[in-house]
Amino acid sequence: MASGFFVLLDDIAAIMDDVAVMSKVAAKKTAGILGDDLAVNAEKASGFASSRELPVLWAISKGSLLNKIIILPIAFLLSAFMPDAIIVILVLGGLFLAYEGAEKIYEFVFPHPHEESEGITEKTYSEEQILEMEKGKVKSAIITDFILSVEIVIIALGTVIGKPIIQQIIVTSIIALVATIGVYGIVALIVRMDEAGYKLIKFSKNEKSISKFIGNILVKALPLVIKGLTVVGTIALLLVAGGIFVHYIPFFHHLSEEIKLPSIVKEFVTGLVLGCVVLVIVNLFKKIFKKKQ
């Protein structure tokens, strides 16, 4: 009886070792998309009155957790009964990521006007209007998070396809939970940077004090940090997309083996080229649709 118990413990330890190794691999695969996730959520969580930033972020975080609760069981059912569907969804997600990255580059090179987003200012709107607008922005942020969550879960699950279902569930759930806590924890720090800076400036009585110097840096750094995350996120989108195409589409896999370049370059170029193709197709459909209207 005792020997059977110790054998069971050894089996559990072996499973946990495998889970730890696979979790590291899955974390590396999904890390690329988190830069874009950070940039998007930092942008969505900003633009509110200072006192409302953290409550709004908490509301978005709860929505993100609910998204994961909805997505994870569906992903596990597909993995158990239709594993090929995971690869299909993974490739479709890669096309979406590549399109998103190519679109950001296109907008940077050929900027075009966008509709002004509704800002929230205490001076212009009543409290009821502000809360109503907050609900709209929170809903928009949760929808965006749902799309990103699908990508993260499928990419994480794609790294453990073929493994026992229990290991798939544990690894993918860990990645989903860590991604949610990590992303929104960092977003909370980012959106409060300027507030921390203002407090340091207000606390300082000396014009040349260190606290005022640091405060000014924090206030000025916030928009730069968000822009920097956007750039990193765009590159990461194309790298992640390219990696999906190179590893899961035989044509690109064989092509990449023949080209003697660093893998990171091959993945980036593959993601960019296919992203541009999808961008052209989408823009053509948009023009056709507008003409019909």
> 256 vs 11, which has greater pLDDT?
256
Here the contacts of 161-164 (C-beta below 8 Å, separation 24 or greater) are 161/79, 161/83, 161/86, 161/87, 162/83, 163/18, 163/22
> 137 vs 124, which has greater pLDDT?
137
- Return the CA Rg of the chain: 22
- Mean pLDDT over residues 202-219, rounded? 77
Domain boundaries of the chain, sorted by first residue: 2-292
pLDDT reported for residue 14: 46
Flag whether pLDDT at 27 surpasses 60: no
Residue 67 has, within 13 A of its CA and on its CB side, a CA count of 24
Q: What is d(CA 131, CA 49) in angstroms, rounded to the nearest whole number?
A: 11
Flag whether pLDDT at 70 surpasses 50: yes
pLDDT band at 1 (very low <50, low <70, confident <90, very high): very low
Q: What is d(CA 65, CA 283) in angstroms, rounded to the nearest whole number?
A: 33
Contact 33, 148 (CB under 8 A): yes
pLDDT reported for residue 20: 55
Q: What is the pTM of this model?
A: 0.69
pLDDT reported for residue 187: 80
Q: Hey, which bits of 215-260 come out as E strands? A: none
Q: How buried is residue 35: exposed, middle or buried, by Cβ count under 10 Å (0-12/13-18/19+)?
A: buried
Give the rounded percent of residues in the chain with a pLDDT score beyond 90: 9
